[in-house]
Chains A and B, each alone.
Chain A
Amino acid sequence: MDIHEVSVLIGGRAGDGVASSGQVVAQILAHMGYRVHMYFDYPSLIKGGHNFAIIRGAERPVGAVRDKVDFILALNQETIELHRGKLGRGGVIICNGDIASHPGAVQVPIGSILKNEQAPTVMGNSAIIGAFLKAAGIDWNIAEEVFWNALMKETVQNLRVAWQAYDAADVRMAVKEITDHRHPVMTGNEAIGIGLLEGGVTMYFAYPMSPTSNLMHFFAAKADEFQIRVVQPESETAGILMALGCSYAGVRSAIGTSGGGFCLMTEALGLSGIAELPLVIVLGQRAGPSTGLATYTAQSDLLFALNAGHGDFPRFIVAPGDTTEARTWSRLATAFAWKYQVPSIILPDKIVCEGLYSIDPDFSIDCHPEPIMADPGVRPYMRYQLTESGISPLRFPPSVGDWIKVNSHVHDTDGITTEEPEVTRTMADKRNNKIAGLREELEGLHPVEVSGNTNSDGALLTWGSNKGACDEVGKLLDLRVIRPVVLCPFPERSFANAMTGVRRFYSVESNETGQLARLVSQFGYRASGLVLKYDGRPFTIEELTARVREAIS
């Protein structure tokens, strides 16, 4: 059977390397011209427990998985027991024959292969991948190219192990090459990292927390190549304040966390607001409240991100829906933070953070905001000079003859504390005035994406990683899909355009109250229904299709 779409599940114990093997499978599909998405499911523990990944490749961009899979790569028996119900018609199980079996399965004699090659146990996964390649009728050259590209350790030995299994297995279901136009795969965390680098970030502060820890690991592993410093502070509170120290000194940094850590940052978020210090926060969402589900997804921090910190101050919030958006909007989030001297929050969810997606490497939004610097000749320098745009030109210490003061209190144009009512109001207006410029600039950048049947008067409203499932289901059910990528300042004009002609819309979100629906209701748009999922798992295509049908009927 020839297929133009393929799904592969790989499962094993935590610590078995499920994610890295899944990535190799994803890269193999990417090499064959597929657009790929991988969902990685793991409990919050280090060894033992069950991990699995589903890799889906298709001709068109994908960002969600299906209920059924074509291949199950089982590193242990438990994987077969847990997932065999997901095997579609004609599906193939490939397993470690030493410890697992199933009628009709491709049983790979991993133990004897490793012995022949005198290879360590960790290379067992390469044997499973080798057997998969054969079972899927994939050309051996692709394995060679991908293994080498991936800069795998001990590539030669891994390839020998994979070859033995490839040689021994037989073709079961041919997966065809689609095109030689290939898209690299990476996680959203990595794409955010690339975007931050392109935004000029050279310092990264993070206290470990899923789902953004891997961004810290990515930067740390590439510290020399990317010339970035990774600092692990004593707490999120410390991290955000270190970042503000960098901003004061004119150095671009970013900080990464999740809900719990962001809670600790809120006082300093307000400091960024009043002191007008640029700040970039990557807030990866996971299920809350409190510790919640540490390694599972949610989109329940939107209203928190919008409102975090006491007092009013402008901020920029963007929720990328895949790696292509994550990269370009992370660059822009940094640029806007520095141009408007505001905090920028990049708000992915766990699916975007830790999921793999094909990235369109050439896509970029042609917008390059620059910080507004004080003219070198201008004296005396006023850190909080009043301007029409509300943006005071920047100057960084050391600067001969200047006192550059930033202040958490209400302050005058020199940054000196004041309690005068007049100055208080003027300064509040000045900060607030920055929003108009930022919003205007954003309206030109497609801050609201529209897909599906763009003429339909029925629509799905969604955000973040639900882009993947909604884009497909919208097409399938002939619905318009409206997805604000920028959430603050809310792009009212683009949203109104996107909503033109819509009579009913349903908000598809991974939270229990419909936070985006609540946000748009402030602008007069009332959802006809909510399609919510809050069990920590993403919608599959089939599940969302059924849920939307049910909501509409």
Chain B
Amino acid sequence: MKGSELISHAKNTWCPGCGNFIVQHALKEVVSDLGSEGYPVENVILVTGIGQHAKIFDFMNLNGFYSLHGRTIPVATGIKLANPGLKVLCIAGDGDCYAEGIEHLIFAAKRNVDITVMVNNNRVYGLTTGQFTPTSPYGFHGRSTPKGEKENPLNPLDLVLSSGATFIARGYTGRREQLKFLLHEALLHKGFSFIDNLQVCATYCNLTDYYNERVYDWDAGSSGDYQAAHKRARGWDYTADTRIGLGIMYQHGAPTYEEGYPVPVALSEEGRGQAIRKFLDSRL
């Protein structure tokens, strides 16, 4: 399947310059590449939350589940449990995943369920027009915080690492090729894969220059080292004026959730009848 066939006829409504376009094209190319690597496109399921990030659901010719705000991960978990042969990708927002639905992120990491979650972290509530999110920089002047927000940002990489995720990466929409690579690796990783994607919001939080001045690549060789990963996660707290590492932060093999909950062998009508009769007999 050619990448261009994956773009739907729906009218695109992202703002000009939005980082979501980069995400869309990276996804298109990765899904197309996976197709030639033996992972057919019909096996890919895209689950989105609610926000600007989520509109990718409409813009792609992909199987999909346009869920509720904050609720990509439990839907993806259910799909994966139902059919472990599917490749399930969540594209979530930072408000979506780090505020409304943060418990699901922690639990997906804890369970090591074999799904991929990419959070398009534009550091702002885009669709609701510019309020602060859990990862907005300290002092963020949003529409609900005209005098500057007084909460410190949350560090999702640190949180997800300590929750048990087995693939953790940070991408940036200003580094399209790398983002493609991360998405590809995340989808191929067996276990819970997480990408915090620094996505430029052209309208409410344009940090392009800020990111460009600070980003650097983590050393690809040491991604298996938990202690090193911990240091990397703590290297930037989403507000301090330090360098910002990109790439695979941590990767580690571990049994997945669905392996512990294999799909039941479907009982025949007769087999089920027997099991029920046996139970009824125990109640006489």
Contact = CB atoms under 8 A, between A and B. Distances in A.
Interface of A: 27, 30-31, 145-146, 149-151, 182, 184-186, 190, 194, 197-198, 202-203, 222, 225-229, 231, 233-235, 237-239, 241-246, 248-251, 253, 267-268, 271, 275, 359, 361, 397-409, 411, 415-417
Contact of A408 (B66, B76, B264, B278): B66
Interface string B250-268: 0000000000010111110
B77 to A, nearest CB: 5
Q: Please tell me the size bucket of the interface on B.
A: 35 or more
B241 to A, nearest CB: 36
Contacts of B79: 245-246, 248-249
B67 A271 contact: yes
A243 B107 CA distance: 16
Given A238-B104, A244-B78, A416-B8, A404 B63 contact: yes
A233 B76 CA distance: 13
B40 A398 contact: yes
28 contacts: A27-B284, A31-B284, A149-B281, A149-B283, A182-B284, A186-B280, A194-B276, A197-B276, A202-B263, A225-B278, A226-B272, A227-B264, A227-B265, A229-B263, A229-B264, A238-B77, A238-B107, A241-B74, A248-B75, A251-B83, A253-B82, A359-B280, A361-B280, A398-B85, A398-B86, A402-B42, A415-B66, A417-B55
B188 interface: no
B192 interface: no
B65 interface: yes
A31 B281 CA distance: 11
The 6 closest A-B pairs by CB, nearest first: A245-B78, A242-B78, A241-B74, A249-B82, A227-B264, A251-B82
Nearest to B83: A249
Contact of A242 (B43, B77, B278): B77
B18 interface: no
Select the residue from B63, B107, B280 with max chain A CB neighbours within 10 A: B63
Nearest to A268: B68
A184 B283 contact: yes
Interface of B: 8, 10, 40, 42-43, 45, 47, 50, 55, 57-58, 61-68, 71, 73-83, 85-86, 103-104, 106-107, 261, 263-267, 272, 275-276, 278-284
Select the residue from B58, B73, B76 with max chain A CB neighbours within 10 A: B58
A27 B280 CA distance: 11
B61 A403 contact: yes
> Which label, helix, strand, loop or mixed, suits the secondary structure of the A interface?
mixed
Contacts, number: 178
B74 A185 contact: no
A38 B47 CA distance: 46
A245 B65 contact: yes
B52 to A, nearest CB: 13
Given A235-B103, A268-B71, A202 B78 contact: no
B63 A231 contact: no
A107 B172 CA distance: 78
A191 to B, nearest CB: 10
Select the residue from B50, B65, B263 with max chain A CB neighbours within 10 A: B65
